[in-house]
Chain A
Amino acid sequence: DSGVTQTPKHLITATGQRVTLRCSPRSGDLSVYWYQQSLDQGLQFLIQYYNGEERAKGNILERFSAQQFPDLHSELNLSSLELGDSALYFCASTTGDNYGYTFGSGTRLTVV
């Protein structure tokens, strides 16, 4: 167990649906990053939160949104799902920008 918990581990859903992925950061870490790993595009940065505030935004679609709650857990909401959204979604937490990243084991989303 890396200390970062992602749920669910696997998710199968139909096109057009909406899902929520959850990430609990390692204890003490204030920063949460979300990434999408797909076979053809590698690891894509989606969004970063720091202590509840959005810190940086990457290649996140308008259909996707995220938030970080006061207890520091984060949720990634994916709506109007398309087949191409099928991927592994990782979150990582850290206390700073340059060290101590801990990745979760990922949520595998399959859109059918």
Chain B
Amino acid sequence: DQQVKQNSPSLSVQEGRISILNCDYTNSMFDYFLWYKKYPAEGPTFLISISSIKDKNEDGRFTVFLNKSAKHLSLHIVPSQPGDSAVYFCAAITGNQFYFGTGTSLTVIP
């Protein structure tokens, strides 16, 4: 059973607009969440993380929001740039266990 879900396999956004990538999870014991970005034929690179005791973390154009009551995580990219086109994974950690979503492919249209 998938404990971390990314229900949108793909997303297209116009350059300069906001990209919102969503992630849902089932385990209330997750204590840390991460977002990774992956280009084709490369490995994922770490983007941004958030502790379960926070509800928002911001780093430049990237902001992650955590809604624990809804068990929902989202990554906002503002403004979106063509170089942001990639696959984005969310991941959740409890103890020493990592759980990954299946990824959302973001395309930013110039």
Q: Which residues of A contact B (CB under 8 A)?
A: 1-2, 33, 35, 37, 42-46, 48, 55-56, 58-59, 88, 90, 92, 97-103, 105-106, 108
Contacts and interface: CB of A to CB of B under 8 A. Distances in A.
B10 A98 contact: yes
Contacts of A42: 45-46
A61 B76 CA distance: 35
Nearest to B103: A101
Interface string B38-82: 001111111000000000000000000000000000000000000
Contacts, number: 62
A59 B43 CA distance: 9
B100 interface: yes
Main secondary structure of the interface of A (DSSP, over half): strand
A83 B26 CA distance: 34
Contact of A43 (B46, B102, B105): B46
B28 interface: no
B83 interface: no
Given A2-B2, A45-B44, A101 B102 contact: yes
A43 B41 contact: no
